[in-house]
Amino acid sequence: MPRTIPLISCDDLTTGSSAEVVADGRIFAVYNVGGTFSVLDGICPHAGGPLGKGTLDGQVVTCPWHGWQFDVTNGQHCLNDTLCQPRYDVEIRDGQVCVCLPD
């Protein structure tokens, strides 16, 4: 049965912003694109950079270390079709952005 873990208050993640959140022993990258929240694995697959601290432009985040770019809505790398960052299902509960983790 999937577990749902609160990551951040919706009010603390305004439209167009991103956040890095550590929960359940993992690092998550949380994004707000026009009021829709997305969660990716927060560790960049290039060299471990913090995707939650990247710059968000529309639905594309740019890793702050070397500039790799991902679509935060599906994890797809913007230039390499074979690279896809893990994404997680999201639920909003009691004003919190929650990540749904498979057991």
By CB under 6 A, name the binding residues for ligand FES: 44, 46-49, 63, 65-68
Minimum distance from residue 62 beta carbon to ligand FES (Å): 8
Residues 6+ apart with CB under 8 A from 43: 27, 49, 50, 51
How far is the CA of 31 from the CAs of 1, 15, 68, 85, in angstroms?
25, 8, 16, 14
Closer residue to ligand FES, CB minimum distance, 16 or 67: 67
Give the residue with the Cβ less far from ligand FES, 44 or 98. Answer: 44
Residue 50 Cβ vs ligand FES, minimum distance, rounded to whole Å: 8
Minimum distance, C-beta of residue 29 to ligand FES, in the bound complex (Å) = 11
Pairwise CA distance, residues 93 & 76, whole Å: 26
| Nearer to ligand FES (CB atom), residue 26 or residue 46 | 46
- Contact indicator for 16, 32 with CB cutoff of 8 Å: yes
